[in-house]
Structure 1
Amino acid sequence: MTANQEQDYTKKLDFGLWRKLFQYIIPYKKYVMRLTLVMMAVGGIDVIFPIMTRYAIDNFVLKGDLQGLWIFAGVYALLVLFQSTNIRLLALNAGKIETGVVYDIRHKGFDNLQSLSFSYYDKTPVGWMMARMTSDVQRLGDTIAWGLVDLVWGFTMMTGIAIVMLFMNLKLALISLSVVPFLAIASVYFQQKILKAHRKVRKINSRITGAFNEGIMGAKTTKTLVREKENLKEFKELTLDMYNSSVKAAMYSAVYLPLVVALGSIGTGLAMWYGGKAVMLESISYGTLVLFISYTIQFFEPVRDLARIFSEFQSAQASAERIMSLIETEPEITDTPEVLERYGDVFDPKPENWPPIKGNIAFKNVSFSYKNGEKVLESFNLNIRAGQSIALVGETGSGKSTIVNLLCRFYEPVKGEILIDGVDYKERSQAWLQSNLGYVLQAPHLFSGTVKDNIRYGKLDASSDDIIKAAKLVNAHDFIMKLENGYDTEVGEGGSRLSTGEKQLISFARAILADPRIFVLDEATSSVDTETEKIIQDAIQKVLKGRTSFIIAHRLSTIRSADRILVISDGRIIEDGNHNKLMEERGHYYRLYTNQFMEEQENEILGK
């Protein structure tokens, strides 16, 4: 996989990270306060129950006196009823916190994904983003909400138990709790091991999600190349790695939790040993001994839960690190504060301040190289008049797409300027520029929904008449009306129910609906048949009229009517002119065109 690899994390439990995450709880602070009070009440009542048992043993059982039993039973019943109500309230409030936090983190993550630069999607696999936004976020929400429940309950109960035990009998309390320091040492050791193991599990999980995504998206390719067996083998290797890492993480937890149980049992044993002696010496009552035994069992129950929570926090931190890395990733291309104040951004645009675009474009001494150091353009210059159609021709990797991506501001020049209507486009907002762009790709992407929904995607407030007008302009109306439900026909996921040519025409209609002043066609007819190509070519002639346009084309026959044809090689313009001029010069374009023309003629004669 050539895509960017996951970042590795080496820190221990990162409290700074958790402070950032707990910012997402602030909107739900009223639920947190309610939950905290409820859990303190739950823990407090759990502390009271053994005291009630001690009272019953010392006053009813040992004395054989039932006087006051009904009052005792009534108080006990009220405590049980109160505890039942608390359990219901804790589930209700914890559930609201969990769903709210998960929603807000996903909303923030998706919001940031919308603002990230084109380069982020170039290097980040879709599956990894999906893993972070789905399973990682859900795990985090579960841990924050239900971890809070167990933390408050556990600390309340442990504190209450320790206070009552120390008050009842200081010596016996200290003996019973003597195992706590050993528990603390074990916790510090195992938390490092568990965190490291869970980080690896989450990293592999992202890779598996990515493999799922690629396998589904590339299913047709897999079938045609008969790659099922090899894909299964590769996926098995990934899942085996996931299995081994998960087993290792579970092993540490499996050792840690029984160790907590064993230390708790030792504490209970010490209470029984020294408490039993104290009963025989009549220095404490039998009810007090039962109280201490109950408390030592109860004390280490929340310890076990806290140990489990601690383990879950290790796992959740591995998720949290990846989620926060996505949320905190800064766009590589940003507008200045002054530009944002005047023109707004994509989320809060200020179109009333946007100057109209005529379409004059100039590249002035533009240099560009990708992050990996690959240099594409060096001191590149180009001037285009408004309304001109510019065709870009050249070998793969010559720089054609880079020129267009720089124009669209998907990337920015390392050096030099790009001017639109005489103004550096950095002095305008990205929203201003990209709202005036129409971009049609070689492989058009349609969204699940109807034909009408997909065309309207280019302008959400468009009327049905506007949609039909755009479809007619690009020669799509006739085929749309032949569909089962016309404009209300479902296109399927990714437009799977339509042919490539039909999808391309709909993408044309979608682009033209927004009435862009600058149009980009990236190999727009290379994947369609000859008949559909003629329909699209006719649509192109109508659509591009009066607009500044860039056409990247493999089939040179489709660009003969372009105002200017630029032959690009190694990031430089080696030929510039219209079709007739370049053919007369008998240079690089002439050779490309004649070779392609002869090949097409040969294929036509042979019936290919």
Structure 2
Amino acid sequence: MMIALGILDSIFPLLTKYAIDNFVEKNTIAGIKTFSIVYLAAVIALALTVYLFISKAGELEMQMAYDIRKMGFEKLQLLPLSYYDDKAVGWLMSRMTSDISRLSETISWSLVDLAWGFSMMIAVTIAMVRLNAKLALITLSVVPLIAIVSFYFQKKILQAQRGVRKINSKITAAYNEDIQGAKTTKTLVREEINLEEFQDITTSMRDKSINATIISSIYLPIVLTLGSVGTALALSNGGKSVMLNAISYGTLFAFISYTTQFFEPIRQIAVIFAELQAAQASAERVFSLLNEVPEIIDRDEVVEKYGDLLNPKKENWPDIKGSIEFRNVSFSYKTGETILENFNLKIQPGETIALVGETGSGKSTIVNLFCRFYEPTSGEILIDGINYKDMPQNWIHENLGYVLQSPHLFSGTIKDNIRYGNLNATDEDVIQASKLVDAHDFIMETEKGYEMEVGEGGGLLSTGQKQLISFARAIVRNPRLFVLDEATSSIDTETEKIIQDAINKVLDGRTSFVIAHRLSTIRNADRILVIRDGKIEEMGNHKELIKKKGYYYNLYTNQFIEEKSLDVLSQ
């Protein structure tokens, strides 16, 4: 449409030339009817082309934003947890929102305008050369200078816009952190400090934006001046040619019109050019996300046989019985810090393994490796004797129930959140899972029961209630593997007893890892592993470890005395 619009725009000066040479100079109206019909047809074609261009460009903008956001969201689903370790929420949000909006808007309008500009310039150049080649070359002599100026300012504008987009993501991150940490801000009385820190970021954003605007504002007047010089050359030399009867007055008028038309796209391109630099900065940031290569990738032969994360072939998956083996497993984070080295462990189906130890000892790393949120640097992890790298990632995830220390609930009803674990679950399945973890009674005590809205992040429920719902959400999946990560550390003693009963029920017959801070919650574990510096220092059940009077004994007795002291003080 824009190419057609550029060609149509170049026709009107020729029509004006024809009118001047045949009607004005000859002082006659013979043939004006036919001319009027042709002129009207050109106007209608121009109007139709503009209409189609605007409608298609708007459609392109919306569809492009939709497609890129869909691709970005899909990429975020496929990336492993390690990707999120050093990525702020605001950093990701700015790419998925403002960067994509700028990119789609620029391509659908500015880039399309370039098609109009270049097609019109080509059509005008051809028309000018056909009218008078010498005058055309004189008029267009300023174009090389415009190209040189544009090339110089391209780098300057792009560099400035990169800085602006980078600061913009920091502002988004700052907003996100301040909203999520509102309670901490109030309790620590950090309002004034937060404001100062945010003001520093916005001041930097303002300064960089002004710098980018100044660079663009210098570029545009230079282009306008050079364009005006081109028009002046056409008027000066064309006027002399008319006086010498070398060209007609209509030809001069057409030339003046063409010079205006030729340099108008250049003026527009100068503006578009600055927008394109900003869009390029946004595009670099968006595609840095889209082109991110996941650290955990299923091999081609695995995908061919078993499917991938988004297109699983579950009919080919073997059932999981639950035996697990860590065989000479070592693991280091990207920072180079070694957490595990030649770690070995065998677990029987249905066995409950509790992990205790100091913060940073490697407990969570063991569980994350087992869940394949990370993969071993060396060694193997076997599930039912199969190296889990020989199976798709979601083979484990589909059979995994995971309850976190701080459970995350999604906006929606209690029923929606429980069913989130299994979208095919019926209402009866949801109720049965809730009863199994002793969540049904408190749910029914609410005004709307299972239809109660939980609020953003489950904010309308207590921590214990959220934890019970997260248990129900995990159990409705009927998983063969289970992980409890400090699931009782942030709740009161009374709620802990309810959740402990739920734990005993949900872990029955399932291979489970339990990371525990409160040691009273793991007394019934089949084996307790004391982890220190990525190694198993002690291993056995509760009674065996108490008899050893080692690290676990000291840890347990100290915690027991502390809890009893608190009970006495509270009476």
TM category, shorter: over 0.9
Q: 1:179 aligns with which of 133, 138, 142?
A: 142
| CA–CA separation in structure 2 for the residues paired with 1:83 and 1:224 | 64
Give the residue type in structure 2 aligned to 1:290: F
Q: Does 1:572 align with 2:535?
A: yes
| CA–CA separation in structure 1 for the residues paired with 2:521 and 2:568 | 20
Contact residue 344 and residue 431 of structure 1 kept, 8 A: no
Q: 1:599 aligns with which of 553, 562, 565?
A: 562
Shift of 1:573: 1.0
Structure 2 counterpart of 1:395: 358
Unpaired runs of 5+ residues, structure 1, are 1-37
Structure 1 counterpart of 2:495: 532
Shift of 1:570: 0.5
TM-score normalised by the chain length of structure 2? 0.97
Shift of 1:442: 0.5
| CA–CA separation in structure 2 for the residues paired with 1:415 and 1:586 | 34
Q: 1:95 aligns with which of 38, 46, 58?
A: 58
| CA–CA separation in structure 1 for the residues paired with 2:31 and 2:567 | 106
Structure 2 counterpart of 1:67: 30
Alignment of 1:295-314 (within 5 A): 295-314=258-277
Structure 2 counterpart of 1:115: 78
SS in 1 for 2:380: strand
| CA–CA separation in structure 2 for the residues paired with 1:179 and 1:342 | 63
Deviations 1:241-299 (CA, angstroms, capped at 9, x unpaired) = 11111111111111111111111111111111111222222222222222111111111
Deviations 1:188-236 (CA, angstroms, capped at 9, x unpaired) = 1000111111111111112221222212222222222211111111111
Shift of 1:411: 0.9
Q: Does 1:129 align with 2:80?
A: no
Q: 1:341 aligns with which of 289, 294, 304?
A: 304
Structure 2 counterpart of 1:419: 382
Structure 2 counterpart of 1:562: 525
Q: Does 1:271 align with 2:234?
A: yes
Alignment of 1:139-288 (within 5 A): 139-288=102-251
Runs of 4+ in 1 over 4 A off after TM superposition: none
Alignment of 1:2-17 (within 5 A): none
SS in 1 for 2:141: coil
| CA–CA separation in structure 2 for the residues paired with 1:306 and 1:596 | 72
Deviations 1:534-554 (CA, angstroms, capped at 9, x unpaired) = 111111111111111111111
| CA–CA separation in structure 2 for the residues paired with 1:556 and 1:532 | 16
Deviations 1:92-130 (CA, angstroms, capped at 9, x unpaired) = 111222222221111111111111111001121121111
| CA–CA separation in structure 2 for the residues paired with 1:415 and 1:152 | 54
Structure 2 counterpart of 1:380: 343
Deviations 1:302-340 (CA, angstroms, capped at 9, x unpaired) = 112222222222211111112111111111112222222
Give the residue type in structure 2 aligned to 1:293: I
Deviations 1:406-430 (CA, angstroms, capped at 9, x unpaired) = 1101111112111222222222221
Q: 1:473 aligns with which of 420, 428, 436?
A: 436
Between stretches 135-144 and 453-462, larger displacement belongs to: 135-144
Structure 1 counterpart of 2:257: 294
Q: Does 1:587 align with 2:550?
A: yes
Shift of 1:342: 2.1
Give the residue type in structure 1 aligned to 2:347: I
Structure 2 counterpart of 1:11: none
Between stretches 535-544 and 384-393, larger displacement belongs to: 384-393
Alignment of 1:402-413 (within 5 A): 402-413=365-376
Unpaired runs of 5+ residues, structure 2, are none
Q: Does 1:81 align with 2:20?
A: no
| CA–CA separation in structure 1 for the residues paired with 2:389 and 2:141 | 67
Structure 1 counterpart of 2:453: 490
Shift of 1:577: 1.4
Between stretches 368-377 and 215-224, larger displacement belongs to: 215-224
Shift of 1:150: 1.0
Give the residue type in structure 2 aligned to 1:488: E
| CA–CA separation in structure 1 for the residues paired with 2:563 and 2:382 | 39
| CA–CA separation in structure 2 for the residues paired with 1:489 and 1:480 | 8
Q: Does 1:432 align with 2:395?
A: yes
| CA–CA separation in structure 1 for the residues paired with 2:445 and 2:239 | 91
Give the residue type in structure 2 aligned to 1:286: Y
| CA–CA separation in structure 2 for the residues paired with 1:372 and 1:230 | 31
| CA–CA separation in structure 2 for the residues paired with 1:51 and 1:353 | 71
SS in 1 for 2:361: coil
Shift of 1:604: 2.0
Q: Does 1:519 align with 2:444?
A: no
| CA–CA separation in structure 2 for the residues paired with 1:550 and 1:406 | 12
Give the residue type in structure 1 aligned to 2:7: G
Shift of 1:377: 0.7
Structure 1 counterpart of 2:412: 449
| CA–CA separation in structure 1 for the residues paired with 2:305 and 2:7 | 58
Give the residue type in structure 2 aligned to 1:145: S
Aligned-pair identity (%): 63
Shift of 1:462: 0.8
SS in 1 for 2:447: coil
Structure 2 counterpart of 1:327: 290
Q: Does 1:354 align with 2:286?
A: no
Shift of 1:514: 0.7
Between stretches 353-362 and 563-572, larger displacement belongs to: 353-362
Give the residue type in structure 1 aligned to 2:222: L
Give the residue type in structure 1 aligned to 2:177: E
C-alpha RMSD of matched pairs (Å): 1.5
Q: Does 1:509 align with 2:472?
A: yes
Deviations 1:120-152 (CA, angstroms, capped at 9, x unpaired) = 011211211111111111111112222342122
TM-score normalised by the chain length of structure 1? 0.91
Deviations 1:64-108 (CA, angstroms, capped at 9, x unpaired) = 333333443333233222211111100111122222222111111
Shift of 1:526: 1.0
SS in 2 for 1:54: helix
Between stretches 414-423 and 73-82, larger displacement belongs to: 73-82
Give the residue type in structure 2 aligned to 1:100: Q
Shift of 1:558: 1.3
Structure 2 counterpart of 1:51: 14
Contact residue 112 and residue 327 of structure 1 kept, 8 A: yes
| CA–CA separation in structure 2 for the residues paired with 1:191 and 1:283 | 41
Structure 2 counterpart of 1:33: none
